[in-house]
Amino acid sequence: MALDTLYSATLRPHRMFSPLSVNEFDQLLQHAKIVSLSKGEHLFTQGDPAHNFYFIVSGQVKLFRLLKDGSEKIIQIMNKDEPFAHAVMFKKQKTFPVCTQAIAATELISIRNQDYIDLIKTNSDIALELLGSMSANMNNLIQEIEILSLKSSTTKVVQYLQTLMADKSPLNSTFALPAAKHMIASMLAIQPETLSRIFYRLQKKGLIQVDGADITILSPEEFKLHS
């Protein structure tokens, strides 16, 4: 499918593309493609050779590792207006390190790695923005590592909810979970049953309020003490 102005307009404001000149941007879109995924559809699997990276126009995608026991560990949930797999093009082995599956009907823009690399060679601003984006990604991964290293599951959940709250601006004590609860459980490496019980206990203590996917932190001060 051709890439009309509607789609390219969502791409343009993102830091990975905003420093490009009109010509450079057009050049990049020459070989860009729209990819439509229905809910549950897989985009790529870990180990697949990577020739493109992606930008989410609408919908939601999960990135996960396939474990040897057949289960999956969700690494990250990607949302509208976010790029993903853009770090892969710089690996020596140009293969995806994770699997991707749409968790809702999703529209992506697929961009050729080589085209973007060509722009980096001539536009240093784009390189700096990309480095900034990847640096932010690394921070997220380090945060995730810290959460996974906590011994108590309750602490994991509390700390995770705090990162969600911190991401919101302005700081709001009510927010929605970014995905279904069993996916949150997978990100925290706990069982869905355990997550359900932890939510129950935190509610009983009057620390949070859970209404479906909506969480309210009732007592932020006391809440922190659990993390």
Partner DNA sequence: CCTAGCAATTGATATGGATCAATTGTGTTT
Partner DNA sequence: AAACACAATTGATCCATATCAATTGCTAGG
State the minimum distance, in angstroms, from the CB of residue 110 to DNA: 24
By a kind-dependent CB cut-off of 5 to 8 A, residue 154 interacts, out of a second copy, DNA, none, with DNA
CA distances for 152 relative to 3, 149, 187, 194, angstroms: 48, 9, 15, 11
Report, in angstroms and rounded to the nearest whole number, the Rg of the chain calculated over CA atoms: 19
Distance, CA of 219 to CA of 176 (rounded, Å)? 17
Q: Does 176 bind a second copy (CB under 8 A)?
A: no
Stretch binding DNA (CB under 7 A), from 76-84, 88-96, 189-197, 218-226: 189-197
Q: Is 16 in contact with 109 (CB distance < 8 Å)?
A: no
Distance, CA of 125 to CA of 115 (rounded, Å)? 16
Q: Which residue has the tokens 């830091």?
A: 15
Q: Does 216 bind DNA (CB under 7 A)?
A: no
Q: Does 217 bind a second copy (CB under 8 A)?
A: no
Distance, CA of 124 to CA of 67 (rounded, Å)? 38
Pick from 187, 214, 186: nearest CA to 199: 214
Q: Does 218 bind a second copy (CB under 8 A)?
A: no
Q: Does 136 bind a second copy (CB under 8 A)?
A: yes
Within 115-154, the residues that bind DNA by CB under 7 A are 151-154
Q: Does 65 bind a second copy (CB under 8 A)?
A: yes
Binding site for DNA (CB under 7 A): 151-154, 180-182, 189-197, 199-200, 210, 212
Binding site for a second copy (CB under 8 A): 65, 67-68, 73, 75, 87-92, 97-98, 117, 120-122, 124, 127-128, 130-132, 134-139, 141-142, 144-146, 148-151, 189, 227
